[in-house]
C-alpha cells in the first residue's frame, strides 16, 4: 500500500477536482459554437426563403387602374373584410397565347372577424352594359375589350359593391397551383367522362392531371355552364382550404413559384403577408350562384339575370363586406 504525504494528497485532489470543470467548459464552448453556427445558418435559410417568396410574389404583381370605390390597401391594413375578383382566362389553354375572354368569373369576400369567405359565381354569358360598348354585352367580353381594368369596373358597377383587388389566372396556372398544393377531394354530383378522365358520382380526387377535365366540362352537364361553375367553386374552395393549412414559408414559396408565371394580381407581398397571418382563419366558405335565364337576343345567347336575383346576391356580398 502506498501512502501519499499531505502535500501530494492536496495536489492530487486539486488536479482531479479541476479536470471535470475544464472538460465541462470545453463541452459548453462546443455546444455554444455549434448553436451559433446553427442560428446563422437558420437565419440565412429563413432570409433566403423570405427573399425567394417575395421575388415570386413581385413577379405576379401587376397594378391596375380602375374606378375604385375605396382604398383596398387601407382595408387590408385595417384587417377589414375585402373583396377579390377572381378571373380564370382561356389564355394558356391548349397552347393559346392571345388574350381571350374571362371564362371563369367569381367574386370572393374574405371576412377575418366572422372567419368566412363568401364565393359568388357569375355566369360568363350574363347580359350587362359595358362602358363604351353599349348595353347588349356578355360580361366576359369586358376582359376582352379592356383587360382587368374594364372587367373590374363592369362587375363593380353591375353588382353595386366595391371590388378591392383581383387575381387573374390562366388555365395552365390552375394546373400548376394544383401541383403545388397537392390532390384535393370534392363531392361530384354527376357521373361523366371528359378528356379521357372518368369521374364517378360521389367523392373524387382532383389533381394536376385531371383538374382541367373536371373544371372545364359543360357540354355533358344538363345544367350547362352552371354545372361547370359549381365544379370550379368546389375545386377552388378545396385548394384554398388546403392551402390555408400550410404554416411554413417553404410551402408558400413553392405555391408562389408554381403560379407566378401564369397569375397576375394587384395584391402586394406585404398584403399577402397580412392575409397569411390575419385572414387565414376565414376558411368557412359559403358558396353562391348568380342565377339567370337563358335568352336569345339579336341571334346571341345571353343569361339574363332577373333584378330580384341580382339584388339577392348584392345583399349577400354587402353583408359579407359589412357595408350598407
pLDDT digits over 154-204, tens only? 999 999 999 999 999 888 888 988 988 899 999 999 999 999 999 999 999
- pLDDT of 17 > 60? The answer is no
- The set of cell numbers assigned to 144 is 376582352
Note whether 169 and 92 are within 8 A (CB).
no
* pLDDT average, residue stretch 26-46: 54
pLDDT confidence bin for 102, thresholds 50/70/90: confident
Question: Per-residue pLDDT tens for 205-242?
Answer: 999 999 999 999 999 999 999 999 999 999 999 988 88
Residue 2 lies in a domain: no
- pLDDT of 90 > 80? The answer is no
Question: Structural domain of residue 216, as residue ranges?
Answer: 61-321
Q: Nearest Cα to 197, choosing from 216, 221, 177, 225?
A: 216
Share of the chain above pLDDT 70, in %: 77
pLDDT confidence bin for 246, thresholds 50/70/90: low
Residue 126 lies in a domain: yes
pLDDT confidence bin for 45, thresholds 50/70/90: very low
How many other CB atoms sit within 10 Å of the CB of residue 23?
10
The DSSP letter of residue 95 is G
Domains held by the chain: number: 1
- The set of cell numbers assigned to 253 is 414559396
Q: What is the CATH number of the domain that holds 222?
A: 3.40.630.190
Residue whose C-alpha cell is 348595353: 135
**Greatest mean pLDDT among 23-32, 38-47, 159-168, 256-265:** 159-168
* pLDDT average, residue stretch 57-82: 90
Residue 47 lies in a domain: no
Residue 257 lies in a domain: yes
CB proximity list for 288: less than 8 A, separation 6 or greater: 118, 119, 120, 121, 313, 316
pTM for the whole thing? 0.80
Residue 34 lies in a domain: no
Residue 3 lies in a domain: no
Residue 83 lies in a domain: yes
Amino acid at each position: 500500500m502506498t501512502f501519499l504525504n499531505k502535500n501530494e494528497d492536496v495536489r492530487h485532489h486539486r488536479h482531479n477536482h479541476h479536470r471535470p470543470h475544464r472538460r465541462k467548459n470545453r463541452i459548453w464552448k462546443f455546444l455554444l459554437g455549434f448553436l451559433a453556427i446553427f442560428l446563422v445558418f437558420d437565419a440565412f435559410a429563413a432570409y433566403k426563403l423570405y427573399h425567394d417568396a417575395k421575388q415570386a410574389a413581385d413577379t405576379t404583381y401587376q397594378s391596375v387602374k380602375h374606378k375604385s370605390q375605396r382604398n383596398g390597401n387601407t382595408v387590408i391594413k385595417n384587417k377589414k373584410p375585402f373583396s377579390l375578383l377572381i378571373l380564370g382566362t382561356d389564355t394558356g389553354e391548349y397552347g393559346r397565347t392571345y388574350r381571350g375572354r374571362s371564362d371563369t368569373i367569381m367574386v370572393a369576400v374574405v371576412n377575418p372577424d366572422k372567419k368566412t369567405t363568401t364565393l359568388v359565381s357569375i355566369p360568363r354569358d350574363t347580359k350587362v352594359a359595358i362602358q363604351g360598348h353599349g348595353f347588349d354585352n356578355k360580361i366576359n367580353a369586358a376582359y376582352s375589350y379592356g383587360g382587368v381594368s374594364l372587367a373590374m369596373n363592369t362587375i363593380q358597377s353591375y353588382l353595386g359593391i366595391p371590388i378591392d383587388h383581383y387575381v387573374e389566372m390562366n388555365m395552365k396556372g390552375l394546373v400548376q397551383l394544383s401541383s403545388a398544393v397537392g390532390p384535393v377531394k370534392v363531392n361530384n354530383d354527376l357521373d361523366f367522362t371528359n378528356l379521357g378522365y372518368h369521374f364517378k358520382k360521389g367523392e373524387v380526387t382532383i389533381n394536376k392531371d385531371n383538374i382541367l377535365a373536371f373544371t372545364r366540362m359543360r357540354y355533358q352537364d344538363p345544367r350547362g355552364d352552371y354545372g361547370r361553375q359549381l365544379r370550379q367553386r368546389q375545386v377552388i374552395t378545396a385548394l384554398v382550404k388546403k392551402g390555408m393549412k400550410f404554416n411554413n414559408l417553404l410551402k408558400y414559396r413553392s405555391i408562389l413559384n408554381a403560379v407566378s408565371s401564369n397569375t397576375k394580381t394587384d395584391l402586394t407581398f406585404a398584403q399577402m403577408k397580412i392575409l397569411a397571418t390575419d385572414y387565414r382563419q376565414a376558411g368557412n366558405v359559403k358558396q353562391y350562384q348568380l342565377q339567370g335565364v337563358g335568352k336569345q337576343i339579336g341571334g346571341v345567347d345571353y343569361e339574363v339575370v332577373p333584378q330580384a336575383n341580382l339584388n339577392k346576391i348584392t345583399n349577400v356580398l354587402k353583408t359579407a363586406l359589412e357595408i350598407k
